[in-house]
Structure 1
């Protein structure tokens, strides 16, 4: 059990985490034929939920403009590699937080915090569709692919984090 505590109870150096992520991204690219992306899976999940509610997202302007009606090449919710990737990320994060004894469910402090989190989440979701990905697809997978948009995304992501931190400190904390 000492080896378990040695590996999992102490924080890993950043270079080990970065190397593991890069290696896993290479395996994903090799097996799935595409780089790691997260928010596209959530887009597919949302479309399937909207379809169950009677909506027809494939007719919406976004999907027509970007020829994204290929979202519906997946017949079912589970016939979609993004579902398994995102479930793996969620399960992996849960396991990692449990191993590190860092798992906790926190209570929302006040309504203002809830509103800021909700509005921030909506803005981030909209932004991922504009950028064709989050920090994983538009940055982590784009830069190794030598894509210029990854570097541009990175600059503006850090600028946005700075502005968001200022807003957080000024209005929430």
Structure 2
């Protein structure tokens, strides 16, 4: 009986997670992330149709080329669309930017923002090659693994099922090639400067403040342009929610078909 009482006292003395840790810092389960992302994707479909990501990235790339003097608008792929492009008038652009900002907000509110150095040059090489292949593939396929796959499967699109089959094949080949890009294992620990408790607390408060500021600015921007673009606030909220949920749950659409291989 005495041991039971001592055990209860020890359990009561265990520090319980704070409300901040529970709401903003604790990672979500894959199930929670999947449910939230699915709900937001359904809301997005109700407003604009299929959820897509790669389209605005192509436009932004064309805008960057135009800024540096390249007449990308004359290319067949753009065909004058860059001159007509309006960020707030392009719903996928709003959700894409919201997704990026939502992920950043999630990281900042959890005080997890860090600049990590590359461990090996192979990481940079794999990122460059992988990014080029993803961009090229999304362009010629008419969509990425979201718009061309996960948004197509519920509609029983044959293109979506073919996309899925080829993704498994590509993931298998990529898994074999991954060994080349894996950096050598090192037992040396990085020489990091340890922060004092006061410095950690200050860093945490700064990150939370920056995250809250980005959230307020993003929401305010959506409502400011709402007289001209009435649906903008909704797409800002959905985009922020998608980015936040993806970062909190570490949910990855690529791993969904890469890991089983």
TM-score by length of 1: 0.80
Residue matched to 2:45: 29
CA distance, structure 1, for counterparts of residue 83 and residue 130 of structure 2: 31
1:121-149 deviation digits (Å, cap 9, x = unpaired): 11111011111111111112111222121
Question: 1:58 touches 1:69 (CA, 8 Å); kept in 2?
Answer: yes
Q: After TM superposition, list the pairs within 5 Å mapping 1:125-140 onto structure 2.
A: 125-140=135-150
**Higher relative contact order (CA closer than 8 Å, sequence separation 6+):** 2
Task: Work out whether residues 74 and 80 of structure 1, in 8 Å CA contact, stay in contact via their aligned partners in 2.
Answer: no
Q: Aligned runs of 1:78-89 on 2, under 5 Å?
A: 78-89=88-99
Count of residues paired in the alignment: 167
How far off is 1:158 after superposition? Answer: 2.6
Which 5+ residue runs of structure 2 have no aligned equivalent? 1-16, 184-261
RMSD: 2.5
CA distance in 1, matches of 2:108, 2:142: 32
Highest Rg: 1 or 2?
Answer: 2
1:117 and 1:148 mapped to 2: Cα distance? 30
Moved more, 110-119 or 130-139: 110-119
Aligned to 1:18: 34
Structure 1 residue ranges, 4+ long, deviating more than 6 angstroms after superposition: none
- Cα displacement (A) at 1:72: 3.7
Tell me the CA shift for residue 60 of structure 1.
Answer: 2.0
Tell me whether 1:114 sits opposite 2:124 in the alignment. Answer: yes
Partners of 1:37 and 1:133 within 8 A in 2: yes
Shift of the alpha carbon at 1:77? 4.2
Which residue of structure 1 lines up, in the alignment, with residue 68 of structure 2?
53
- Determine the C-alpha separation between the residues in 2 that align with 1:70 and 1:149: 28
Q: TM-score, normalised by structure 2?
A: 0.56
Q: C-alpha separation between the residues in 2 aligned to 1:77 and 1:13?
A: 33
